Structure 1
Amino acid sequence: MTYETITYELRGAIGLLTLNRPERLNAISQQMIDELNDLLDAVEKDEAVRVLVVAGAGRAFCSGFDLKDGADTPKQGVADWRPVLQRDFDIIMRFWHLSRPTIAAVQGYCLAGGCELAMACDITIAAEGTRFGEPELRFGSGIVALLLPWLSGPKKAKELLLTGNDKVTAEEALEMGMINRVVPAGQELDASLAMARDIAVMDRAAVAMTKQAINRTYDAMGMREALNMALDVDVQIESMETPEGKMFAEISRRDGLKAAIAWRDARFGGGPEKG
C-alpha cells in the first residue's frame, strides 16, 4: 500500500512511523486511520521489527482528529456517531495493544486525540517547548480515549479535562506522569531511537510478554471496561448536539476551522490561565 498521510522506514530492528500531514499539524483523518491500520497490521507480521517509534512531521506531533474530515456530512444521533468514535478509539488503542513496544517522539503541539495517541504509546519522550492538552470539552465534545486518569490520577485529570487546558508544558506533563522524559528541542527523535535500540537488543518474546503482563495489570484494575464506558459517554455527548457544539460546527462549516477555534477561545478569554 502506498501511503500519503504517513511515512515508514525500517532502521535495523526499529520501525520509524511518521505522521505526515504537516500542513494540518498532522491531524488524524480517515485516510490516515486507514493507512495506520494497514501499517500496524504489517508491523505485527514483520518479525524484523522489535520496536516502533512514532513521530510527527513539521512543527507538531499531532493536533488531534481532523475536525474538517466529514464536516460536510453532519452526524445526528448515536447511530451516526458510534462507528466514527469507535474507529477513533480503536486506532489510538492499537498503539497500547501492539505486541511491539511503542515509543512516541513528541514535539510542538500534542493535543486532543494526538495527546491520547502519545499517552497510548508505551513510552513518550517530549521536546522542551511541547504543549499538551485535551480541549474537547471547550467546544461541547468529549474524550475519545480517557487514558489521562490512569496516568495522572483523578485530581489532575479533572483539572485538565474540565478546564480544557491545552497549554500544558512538557515539564508539567512529566510531573503528572503523562510522559517519560523531557529533552532539549530537536533531540526527541534521537532520544527515542536510542531508547528503542536499548529495547531492541532484549529478547523479543520476553519483551512482548512483559508488555502484555503490564497491560493485563491495568485490565485487572478495570481499565479496559472503564475506557469502553468512557467511549459510551463520548458517544452520548456528541449525539446530544449541545449549543456549544452546534455553534462550533456551524462556524467551522461557514467560516472555517480557524474561525471556530477563535470563537471557542474568545469565550474563555483566550485560554485557561496558569497559576
Structure 2
Amino acid sequence: MQFVKYEIEDRIGYITLNRPEKRNALSYEVVTELKEAFSRASEDEQVKVVVLAAEGKAFCAGADLAYIQQLQSNTFEENLEDSNHLKELFYQIYTLNKVVIAQVQGHAIAGGCGLATVCDFVFSVPEAKFGYTEVRIGFIPAIVKVFLLRKIGEMKSKELLLTGELITASDASNCGLINKIVNVTQLKEEVKVFAEMLIKNNSGQSMEFTKKMIAKVPEMSLEEGLDYAARKNAEARATDDCRKGINSFLNKVSVNW
C-alpha cells in the first residue's frame, strides 16, 4: 500500500498512516487503504489487538482540502458514494472484532479526530490538539457526530462540534475523548505495554463480544438491552473460552490466551 503500513509485532497489528508530507490527510485512496488494512487485521489470526498510528508530526489533519475542492464538482450521487466510503471506515473500526488503540503522536483534527474518536482506546502526547473544525470552513462534522454523541454525550459534543475549537490533550482527557496522556518518548512503549496486557490477560473472544454489545445496546430500549444482554450472557457460558477461563481460575493455574 502507498499511504498505509501494515505490520505485526508480538500479536499486535500496527496500522500506520504514512503520508507525513500531507499531515496524513484523508483522501479516497487513503480511506481505501485503511479499510483494506483493518479488514486484514480483522481476519489475521496472528493479530489480537490493533494499534492505529501515524508517521510525522501530525496524527491526521482530516480531509485533504484539495480533494474536497475537487469533490465540489461532483454530482450528489458521487458525493454520497464518497461520504459512504468514510462512513464505512469509521463503522468498521468502531465495530471491528478486535480492540483498536489510537496512538496519537500529534494533532488529530476534523476527520483525523474522527479516526481517534471511533477507536476503543486513545493514547496521546501532551502536545497534541484535538478538534472538529469543519464548521470553520463551511463544512459539517456529520459522520463523526454519530459516534461522538455516544462517546461523550450531547452537551460536550455540541461545544466541540458547533465551536470548531481545538482543545488540548488534557481537555480531551477530561471530557472523555482520550484515555491517557503519555510523553512522546514513551508513547509507543506505553501503548505496547497496554496492548500486551490485553493480549495476555483477556480472552479475545470475550473482548470481541463485549465490544459488539457496547455498540448495540445504546440503540435499544432498557428492556430490549437487558434481554439482549441475558441472551449473550447465556451464550458466553457455553463457549470454550469461558470453560477454559473458569477451569484455570478454579485450579489456580495461568490461562494462555
TM-score (norm 2): 0.80
Q: Counterpart in 1 of 2:242? A: none
AA of the residue aligned to 1:78? F
Q: 1:4 corresponds to which residue?
A: 2
Q: What whole-Å deviation, never above 9, does each CA across 1:45-67 have from its counterpart, x for those lacking one? A: 21111000011101011111212
Contact 1:109 1:130 in 2 (8 A): yes
Mapped contact 2:25–2:60 kept (Cα < 8 A):
yes
Matches for 1:164-175 after TM superposition, within 5 Å: 164-165=164-165, 167-175=166-174
The amino acid that maps onto 2:7 is E
Tell me the SS of whatever aligns to 2:124.
strand
Which residue of the partner structure matches residue 261 of structure 1?
none
> Where do residues 5-24 of structure 1 align in structure 2 (5 Å cutoff)?
5-24=3-22
Per the TM alignment, residue 77 of structure 1 is displaced from its structure 2 partner at its CA by 5.5
Instruction: Give the aligned partner of residue 74 of structure 1.
Output: 72
**Distance in 1 between the 2:59 and 2:85 partners?**
20
1:199 Cα deviation (Å)?
0.9
Query: Scaled by the length of structure 1, what TM-score is found?
Result: 0.75
Q: Which amino acid aligns with 2:181?
A: V
Alpha-carbon displacement from aligned partner over 1:180-236 (angstroms, at most 9, x marks no partner): 1111233222211111111112222112111112222233379xxxxxxxxxxxxxx
Over 4 Å off, 4+ runs: none
Provide the rounded CA distance (Å) in 2 between the counterparts of 1:148 and 1:177: 10
C-alpha distance in 1 between matches for 2:5 and 2:132:
26
The answer on whether the counterparts of 2:49 and 2:199 sit within 8 Å (CA) in structure 1 is yes
- Counterpart of 2:51 in structure 1 is 53
The equivalent residue for 1:266 is: none
- Specify whether residues 77 and 44 from structure 1 end up closer, same or farther in structure 2 by C-alpha distance, changes over 3 A only: same
Give, in whole Å, the separation in 2 of the partners of 1:72 and 1:38. 24
**Aligned match for 1:117, one of 112, 115, 118:** 115
Please give the residue correspondences for 1:1-275 in structure 2 after superposition, counting only pairs within 5 Å. 3-69=1-67, 71-72=69-70, 74-75=72-73, 78-143=76-141, 144-146=143-145, 147-165=147-165, 167-201=166-200, 202-220=202-220
- Kindly state the Cα deviation for residue 110 of structure 1 after the two structures are TM-superposed: 0.3
1:135–1:161 CA contact under 8 A, matched in 2? yes
The equivalent of 1:231 in structure 2 is: none
Preserved CA contact (<8 Å) 1:127 1:186 = no
One-letter amino acid of the structure 1 residue matched with residue 175 of structure 2:
M
In structure 1, stretches of 5+ residues that fail to align are: 223-275
Q: 1:96 & 1:127 partners in 2: Cα distance?
A: 22
Q: How many correspondences in the alignment?
A: 219
Alignment RMSD, CA only? 1.7
Whole-Å Cα distance in 1 between the matches of residues 132 and 43 of structure 2? 33
The answer to whether the Cα contact below 8 Å between 1:55 and 1:189 also exists between their aligned partners in 2 is no
Post-superposition shift, 1:79? 2.3
Maintained 8 Å contact 2:106/2:129: yes
1:13 Cα deviation from its structure 2 partner: 0.7
Of structures 1 and 2, the one scoring higher in RCO (CA 8 A, sep 6+) is 1
Greater Rg by CA: 2
In 2: Cα distance, 1:83 partner to 1:168 partner: 31
What residue is the counterpart of 1:232 in the other structure? Answer: none
| Contact 2:117–2:144 (CA under 8 A) maintained in structure 1 | no
What is the Cα deviation at residue 128 of structure 1? Answer: 0.6
Give the AA of the match of 1:47: E
What is the match of residue 230 of structure 2? none
* 1:31 Cα deviation from its structure 2 partner: 1.3
In structure 2, what residue type is equivalent to 1:211? K
Please give the per-residue CA displacement for 1:210-266, whole angstroms capped at 9, x wherever unaligned.
Answer: 1112222233379xxxxxxxxxxxxxxxxxxxxxxxxxxxxxxxxxxxxxxxxxxxx
